Structure 1
Amino acid sequence: MQPTILKLFYLGLLAITIVWGGGAVAEAQPDPNRIEYWRSRFRELKPAEDPRVQKAHDIFQRLIQVAGRRSDVHPKLFIIQNGRWDITLPIALSQGWIVLSKRVLDICYREPNKGDDRLAFILGHELSHQLLGDVWHLRFFQGVANDRLAQHLLDDVRHQFSKTEHVLARELRADESGIIYATMAGFDPHAIITEDNRVNFFVDWVRALNPGFPADQLHPTLRQRAEELKAHLRRVVDQTALFQAGLWWYYAGDYPQAIQAFTQFRSLFPSREVIHNLATSHHRLALQMYRAWKPGQSPVPFQMSMAIDPETRASKIYQMNRTARFRSLSEPVDRETLFRQHLDQAIQLYNEALQLERSYVASARNLGNALIVRGIQGTGADRQADLSEAVMRLSRALKYKSTDAAILTTLGVAFYYEGRIDRAKTYLQQARSLAPGHAAPICNLGQIAQREDRHTETQHYQRQCQQLRSAHSMPPSAARHLSPEHLQELVIGDYIPSHWQTQKRSTFELNSNAYYRLETYAPGITTLTRSGEIIMAMAHPDYPGQSGHGIRVGSSGHDVLASYGPPTRRLLTTNGQSWSYDARGIAFQLTNHRVVSWLIYPETLSR
């Protein structure tokens, strides 16, 4: 590797470095910022040729789920087989494409146990460039040829070198975003760099490109990036621990605490997922406030996907005296005001999430639900405006996901309240056809039939509604029992067995109020502690044990229902659902109707 290349390598970890052989001369290429340029000159690497290709696409999709999309950017991945040049090629194109080469996969997986994590960081870095509009760095590396660059490219490089501080600032920003994306998607940031310098992927990358290059001669800007990233790493890891804890409180039904965690994390990383979870926490808390305001009543007599399930114990109102921001519900408060405030906040936040990505169906579905609730609790022009907007938002969401039974069900409810009864029935019937095992469309059709005094039809729908509900209903079982041998027997607030070895530890402060610690242990368990006491624990996909009622990672949703009965809450997540059982203090996370993890929390969190 020649000195010129090393000078250019200040962006080297996440830009193009091309080393030409055989005296090749750089040639100006037409439209290298378009994917057609790369497709016409390089053969795409297929999963059948290299299993790492499918893994790369899977990792990329996980990162997109976390990072979101811009309305004008739809990230896509194109992986090339190394051609007549030796190419190391992660690059973001203006069309939304990220081009990767087989050489990147080779470098990332030189240490197989760190391969997924390192590839996630590289893809996260390039994804950050896409979402921030930083596709400028393409121009730097259209060709590097042993000091025989085309003159116009050299001039461009020299011009850009005069802006090194700006370039470095952008790369550092992308580094930090890449670490955040990767960590939030479940990858290990310590595979990139560690505080003790035992791991430094920047050095590994240089050595992979030039095996004889001494690490102590690393270009100063690369050293700076490594040191900056190391300095940021602790803060980033701690803050992503805050996001993880927010999810746990969300699963456990402790919405006030989840709101605090997501709000604090949002100040660092305002992604669509964070904003959506913050909105959903406000939304669910608003519904709890309604039931405290009007005990025994529902804000909407129809069933919708976001509404708290009928099994939810409405009498349990979440205490909000954990911080100065929330007053205890035992004090005199205007619960109607709290209901409306939280609902307004949820609507505002759903809109913010949709501004980040118009096609984010989860937020569109929940927004339609919230608008219906606010509309039917309003009067006059405000009522009609909310209902009309709900119809518009849900109809738009159907364009992105036309077979979503939950959207169709909620849209049917919106049309009913607008007075368009026939359209309401049409959409509910469509939802019924798409999801014959779901009770909501059937029950809603029964509600309409009853309001229209169609007695025979009402009885028919109510009978079906009851059958579908009872199919998922089982008597409550005994409370869980805990012991140190297995996760389901871990005593919350007690201790960690001595044979568990700590793998990771992160600490965060919540609203200058309390310090929490997230610790991961070798058996596939992560705990959340406060003042040395365990308050929650999560079993991860690699946990080999089982829950108190025999549920393991990989168990089906039917197995969970058979063992635990109907959940207190079914929360939609970007990867599936979370089913919470407050009476037992356990919440299962399911993807493709299979258990991937579960959370244990004390019952007091949901009271």
Structure 2
Amino acid sequence: MRALPLVFVVLFAVPVFPDWAQSYENPMETIDFWQRQYEEIRPETDARAKRAHEIFSRLVNAVGSRPGVVPRLFISKTEPKNISLPIAIPDGAVIISGRTLDICSGNTKAADDRLAFVLGHELAHLLKDDFWHMKFFNALKTAEAGNPADAKTLAELRAIAGSTDQVLAKELQADEYGIIYAAMAGFDTRAVVDDGKVSFFVEWLQAVDPAYSVNTPKDPDHPTPEQRAGTVKARLRQVLKNVEMFELGLAFYRTGQYDRAVSAFRRFLAYFPSREVAHNLAASHHQLAMKYYAGKAGGAPPLFRMSVAIDPRTRAGDIAQRGAEDAEYLFRVHLKEAIELYQRAIGQDPGYVRSYDNLACAFILRGEEGDAYRAVVMLKDSLRIAPARKEALNTLGVAFFHTENPEKAKGCFLEALKIDPAYDLALYNLGRLALERGDESECRRHWLEYLKLDRKTPWAAAARKTLGVEGPADSSPQGVEHERENVLGLQTGAYDEEVPKDWGTPETENVPLERYPYKINRFANHLMTVSQNKEIGLILAFRDFSGRTARNIGMGSSKQDVVARYGDPDRNLESLSGFTLVYETSGIAFNFQEGGLVSWTLF
């Protein structure tokens, strides 16, 4: 008899229901059944349940859904008979239990990461409409309970089913996607896979199948939990090598290295063709198009502000050295790529409003005949899917201006300000609209408010020039020089051999993005260097790093803490999982999630 495959067909046992019918004739295939039959651990009354729902929302925001399915999470207080939890059910729900939370919280530091991994695995089954083999297992389980005399035959059928290539492939894919989904939502998957132990996997196996324990005699058909866990971990370490590509793309994007971000995201898209990766690749091309827009426009920013912002650092230098003709060509090339990739992301998930919004921005920027009307249609669709969003309303106002409808434009800007009275983009655009309509008094009123929020961007400079007001004083705290950041004495530009010896021996990975590959060194002190030809270009500090920056910022610090010590950022980049404050002169980017600092990058 062949052994059961050593993958998450065991770790995440997902039998669903007897194969009675294809579409919800079995009541257990709907969340209504679970809500009626099982007491729910509700987020309003249980802190762990609240956190589980937050993690689930982050995962869904990162990976999306499939047509006709709205992913939901249900946490049962008790375990059902004959069905192992967690499971994904066809109507879009993922069902877990209090025991799931117990197992994942066994390691307090990695509790969120563990749960993200578990939920990501189930979301993979859900999004791939992967239920047939789970129904088969459950049919066996039900028959097994009803007729013990057939146990031997059923055991043989179980082994055969478990070793089929199709089931194996689906479970391997769910393992892989679980890791990728968790990483894309901003969780530390290495805390699960590379913790130096197999305890989480062993705990899980023993919980979902108590027949296996550390004392179980070894035999070929029933490997020990340690053996199974080791096999799964080895597989997931291979997955993490590809996830490095995505994380490297994010690091390049956050630090304004958009051409390198394009290389990383394009390579990862070939491995994992998801809407989020397509969107990130599109946004990188979009930023490059904005860079060359500044070149072809003589350094002037676009008339109105939209949510895809220009990078101030790229407005001069290498762009100025190119002629306007070259800049025009590169602008068109990158914008065309961005538009096609946004459309691809929408095709993969018709509910993905971020790509709708950015695609509308790209149409407005391109400015061809009919583009403004296309943008209006895209943004109205976006707001139907997810209403009352300031970014979409602001861009819709810009689109209406370009369709020669200034009253509707003003209405959209005002609606955006109702949602957030301190929304700088809408304030700027109201001032610009007033100026375009000849109302200098209203323009001054809006722009003076706007300049309280923005002191650094090209639009702030344009507003000050129009109003005839002085530029701001340096917002950095007095007495602090704009020195380049270092971490434990190491700066970017140093060489690999200059890394302090007391950092220890790193885990090394080579990422072949360009002619000369990038070398990633991860150290036990939760620091990572990225080098090319031995020269360090990025240094990353992760959430468990105990050190502090030159201006005494540590993990968990707030945005207010950073601004108080570093002044206003040069850029504020929004993402699905949080935001990043970028300081060009100091060469540091602070990455926040849920209001707290979780990592920073020196560049």
TM-score, normalised on structure 1?
A: 0.82
- Tell me, yes or no, if the aligned pair for 1:7 and 1:219 is still in contact at 8 Å: no
- 1:169 alignment partner AA: A
Give the Cα separation in 1 of the matches to 2:106 and 2:288: 48
Structure 2 residue 317 is matched with structure 1 residue 316: yes
- Tell me, yes or no, if the aligned pair for 2:15 and 2:136 is still in contact at 8 Å: no
Give the Cα separation in 1 of the matches to 2:136 and 2:191: 29
| TM superposition shift of 1:486 | 5.9
| TM superposition shift of 1:553 | 3.0
| TM superposition shift of 1:369 | 1.0
| TM superposition shift of 1:528 | 1.5
CA RMSD after TM alignment: 3.9
Give the Cα separation in 2 of the matches to 1:461 and 1:588: 30
Judging changes above 3 Å, is the alpha-carbon distance between structure 1 residues 149 and 312 closer, same or farther for their aligned structure 2 residues?
A: same
Task: Name the structure 2 match of 1:604.
Answer: none
- Tell me, yes or no, if the aligned pair for 2:400 and 2:406 is still in contact at 8 Å: yes
| TM superposition shift of 1:306 | 1.1
Give the Cα separation in 2 of the matches to 1:595 and 1:410: 29
- Tell me, yes or no, if the aligned pair for 2:55 and 2:116 is still in contact at 8 Å: yes
1:140-182 CA distance string (max 9 Å, x none): 3446269344799999995994682222221122122122223
Give the Cα separation in 1 of the matches to 2:560 and 2:45: 37
Task: Name the structure 1 match of 2:144.
Answer: 147
Task: Name the structure 2 match of 1:11.
Answer: 9
Task: Name the structure 2 match of 1:238.
Answer: 241
- Tell me, yes or no, if the aligned pair for 1:172 and 1:228 is still in contact at 8 Å: no
| Structure 1 residue corresponding to 2:277, chosen from 255, 274, 278 | 274
Task: Name the structure 1 match of 2:298.
Answer: 295
Give the Cα separation in 2 of the matches to 1:592 and 1:119: 17
Structure 2 residue 132 is matched with structure 1 residue 129: no
Judging changes above 3 Å, is the alpha-carbon distance between structure 1 residues 387 and 332 closer, same or farther for their aligned structure 2 residues?
A: closer
Matches within 5 A, 1:19-168: 30-46=26-42, 51-83=47-79, 85=81, 88-109=84-105, 115-142=111-138, 144=141, 147-149=144-146, 158=157, 161=160, 164-168=164-168
Relative to structure 2, which stretch is displaced further, 134-143 or 249-258?
134-143
Give the Cα separation in 2 of the matches to 1:525 and 1:352: 35
Task: Name the structure 1 match of 2:444.
Answer: 459
Q: Identity of counterpart residues, as a percentage?
A: 35
| TM superposition shift of 1:231 | 5.6
1:220-254 CA distance string (max 9 Å, x none): 89999878755643432111111111111111111
| 3-state SS, counterpart of residue 308 of structure 2 | coil
- 2:554 alignment partner AA: R
Give the Cα separation in 2 of the matches to 1:111 and 1:305: 39
Give the Cα separation in 1 of the matches to 2:415 and 2:358: 19
| Structure 2 residue corresponding to 1:596, chosen from 586, 595, 598 | 598
Task: Name the structure 2 match of 1:564.
Answer: 566
Give the Cα separation in 2 of the matches to 1:249 and 1:205: 36
- 2:173 alignment partner AA: R
| 3-state SS, counterpart of residue 590 of structure 1 | strand
Task: Name the structure 1 match of 2:328.
Answer: 336
1:37-82 CA distance string (max 9 Å, x none): 2222222234588654334333323332332222322221112122
| TM superposition shift of 1:577 | 1.9
| 3-state SS, counterpart of residue 550 of structure 1 | coil
Matches within 5 A, 1:484-499: 485=488, 492-493=494-495, 495-499=498-502
Judging changes above 3 Å, is the alpha-carbon distance between structure 1 residues 387 and 36 closer, same or farther for their aligned structure 2 residues?
A: same
| 3-state SS, counterpart of residue 307 of structure 2 | coil
| 3-state SS, counterpart of residue 575 of structure 1 | coil
| Structure 1 residue corresponding to 2:251, chosen from 237, 248, 253 | 248
| TM superposition shift of 1:388 | 1.2
Task: Name the structure 2 match of 1:259.
Answer: 262
Matches within 5 A, 1:463-542: 463-470=448-455, 474-475=473-474, 478-481=481-484, 485=488, 492-493=494-495, 495-501=498-504, 504-511=507-514, 513-542=515-544
| Structure 1: gaps of 5 or more residues | 19-27, 320-328, 602-607
Structure 2 residue 373 is matched with structure 1 residue 373: no
- Tell me, yes or no, if the aligned pair for 2:526 and 2:542 is still in contact at 8 Å: yes
- 1:233 alignment partner AA: L
Give the Cα separation in 1 of the matches to 2:206 and 2:159: 25
Task: Name the structure 2 match of 1:435.
Answer: 420
TM-score, normalised on structure 2?
A: 0.82
Task: Name the structure 1 match of 2:286.
Answer: 283
Judging changes above 3 Å, is the alpha-carbon distance between structure 1 residues 553 and 226 closer, same or farther for their aligned structure 2 residues?
A: closer
- Tell me, yes or no, if the aligned pair for 1:528 and 1:536 is still in contact at 8 Å: yes
1:343-375 CA distance string (max 9 Å, x none): 111111112222233333322222111111112
1:423-446 CA distance string (max 9 Å, x none): 011111222333322332222222
| 3-state SS, counterpart of residue 175 of structure 1 | helix
Give the Cα separation in 2 of the matches to 1:358 and 1:85: 38
Give the Cα separation in 2 of the matches to 1:452 and 1:92: 56
| TM superposition shift of 1:339 | 0.4
- 2:519 alignment partner AA: R
Give the Cα separation in 2 of the matches to 1:431 and 1:49: 34
Judging changes above 3 Å, is the alpha-carbon distance between structure 1 residues 54 and 337 closer, same or farther for their aligned structure 2 residues?
A: same
Relative to structure 2, which stretch is displaced further, 524-533 or 183-192?
183-192
